[in-house]
């Protein structure tokens, strides 16, 4: 009986051990599957988080673009409103162009007039063209004046202080109250003898009018002076004077025959002319060290300015910058 109980006990013990092993194996398998499921779910979560991050970034970019679109739409609406306003009133463009003209903004004025002409070719074309021509002329005058001012400043910087003293000593100013103009003339001698009986005078002077506008004039003289009965003075009838500097600056003055003066006597024939000279061209001679003079007419005479003639010429030129 005891042996049977032992056997039964052993069988129960074996069965219990077997059940325990089965349970252990079963639990072990369940843990492995759970771990695999957890890993799979973690990968899914990571993937979803990555997609969410990408969507959030894309959403941010879209929000920025949306703001830009709204801003551009607002600017476009403003521009369209302006364009509609202008397109309905071509006169507004002309008024704006005129306002720019009054402000001395001639280039902007011309640009707007071109736009008006292209957009409304049939709108008072003669009026637009007239305003454009005036603005163009004013712009050219403005550029010319600015160029003169720039060159004037450059010349001032180069000129030595001795020139100022020379101007004070050798240039006189004479005011004509009837004409309301001031003459600036040299006190130096401007007549030189070229041949035995032939002399020439070359004198540059400047005029300042009531509007502070300056102009240069050239007074020229030809003299044939005979000292005996064996030589009759001759007329030259010169009609052109050419000045050529050592810097290769050249200017040609056409003599006005209608204003020319003639003096005739037994021993002297004298011709005198007083002619306007181009301001920009003559100012180019400010750096000259020597000037060659050509008198052209019945005869051709050429000579270099004497020291007195050249000094007088330079001082009058320099005086332009100090008035």
Residues 146 and 247 in one domain: no
Task: Write out pLDDT tens, residues 246-266.
Answer: 999 999 999 998 899 999 888
Average pLDDT of the residues in 5-15: 58
pLDDT value for 242:
97
Residues 97 and 193 in one domain: no
Would you say residue 292 lies in a domain?
yes
Those residues with Cβ within 8 angstroms of residue 240's Cβ, 6 or more apart along the chain or in another chain: 252, 253, 254, 255, 296, 297
Domain count, the chain: 2
- Distance, C-alpha 314 to centroid of its chain: 30
Is the CB of residue 174 less than 8 Å from the CB of residue 182? Answer: yes
Task: Write out pLDDT tens, residues 265-302.
Answer: 888 999 999 999 999 999 999 889 999 999 999 999 99
Would you say residue 101 lies in a domain?
yes
pLDDT value for 10:
59
Residues 308 and 249 in one domain: yes
Q: Per-residue pLDDT for 84 more than 70?
A: no
Average pLDDT of the residues in 95-100: 88
Average pLDDT of the residues in 148-171: 82
pLDDT value for 184:
97
Residues 295 and 268 in one domain: yes
| 321 vs 261, higher pLDDT | 261
Residue 275 pairs in a beta bridge with 218
Task: Write out pLDDT tens, residues 100-129.
Answer: 889 988 899 999 889 888 888 888 888 888
pLDDT band, residue 19 (cuts 50/70/90)? low
Is the CB of residue 217 less than 8 Å from the CB of residue 277? Answer: yes
Residues 139 and 181 in one domain: no
| 213 vs 91, higher pLDDT | 213
Would you say residue 24 lies in a domain?
no
State the average pLDDT for the chain: 84
Would you say residue 229 lies in a domain?
yes
Would you say residue 74 lies in a domain?
no
137 membership: H or E segment, kind and range: helix 125-158
Residues 261 and 303 in one domain: yes
Would you say residue 313 lies in a domain?
yes
Name which of 194, 239, 233 is nearest 220 in CA terms: 239
Name which of 292, 287, 294 is nearest 318 in CA terms: 287
Residue 245 pairs in a beta bridge with 291
Domain with 242, as residue range(s), is 161-322
Residues 221 and 128 in one domain: no
Residues 201 and 306 in one domain: yes
Least confident of 38-52, 87-101, 107-121: 38-52
Average pLDDT of the residues in 160-180: 89
Would you say residue 107 lies in a domain?
yes
pLDDT band, residue 165 (cuts 50/70/90)? confident
Would you say residue 237 lies in a domain?
yes
**CATH code where residue 174 lies:** 2.60.40
Q: Per-residue pLDDT for 218 more than 90?
A: yes
């Amino acid at each position: 009986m005891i042996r049977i109980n032992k056997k039964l006990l052993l069988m129960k013990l074996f069965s219990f051990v077997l059940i325990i092993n089965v349970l252990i194996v079963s639990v072990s398998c369940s843990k492995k599957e759970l771990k695999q499921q957890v890993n799979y779910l973690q990968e899914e979560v990571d993937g979803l988080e990555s997609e969410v991050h990408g969507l959030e970034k894309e959403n941010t970019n879209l929000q920025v673009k949306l703001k830009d679109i709204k801003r551009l739409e607002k600017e476009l609406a403003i521009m369209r409103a302006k364009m509609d306003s202008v397109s309905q009133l071509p006169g507004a463009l002309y008024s704006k162009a005129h306002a720019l003209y009054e402000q001395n903004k001639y280039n902007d004025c011309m640009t707007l007039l071109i736009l008006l002409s292209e957009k409304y070719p049939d709108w008072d074309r003669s009026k637009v063209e007239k305003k454009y021509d005036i603005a163009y002329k004013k712009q050219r005058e403005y550029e010319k004046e600015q160029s003169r001012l720039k060159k004037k400043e450059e010349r001032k910087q180069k000129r030595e202080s001795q020139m100022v003293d020379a101007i004070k000593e050798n240039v006189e100013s004479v005011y004509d109250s009837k004409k309301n103009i001031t003459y600036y003339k040299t006190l130096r001698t401007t007549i030189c003898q070229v041949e035995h009986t032939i002399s020439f005078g070359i004198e540059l002077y400047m005029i300042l009018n009531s509007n502070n506008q300056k102009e240069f004039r050239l007074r020229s003289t030809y003299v044939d002076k005979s000292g005996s009965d064996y030589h009759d003075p001759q007329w030259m009838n010169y009609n052109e004077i050419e000045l050529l500097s050592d810097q290769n600056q050249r200017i040609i003055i056409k003599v006005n025959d209608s204003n020319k003066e003639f003096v005739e006597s037994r021993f002297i024939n004298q011709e005198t002319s007083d002619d306007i000279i181009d301001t920009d061209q003559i100012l180019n001679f400010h750096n000259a060290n020597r000037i060659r003079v050509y008198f052209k007419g019945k005869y051709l005479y050429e000579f270099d300015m004497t020291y007195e003639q050249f000094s007088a010429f330079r001082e009058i030129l320099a005086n332009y910058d100090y008035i």
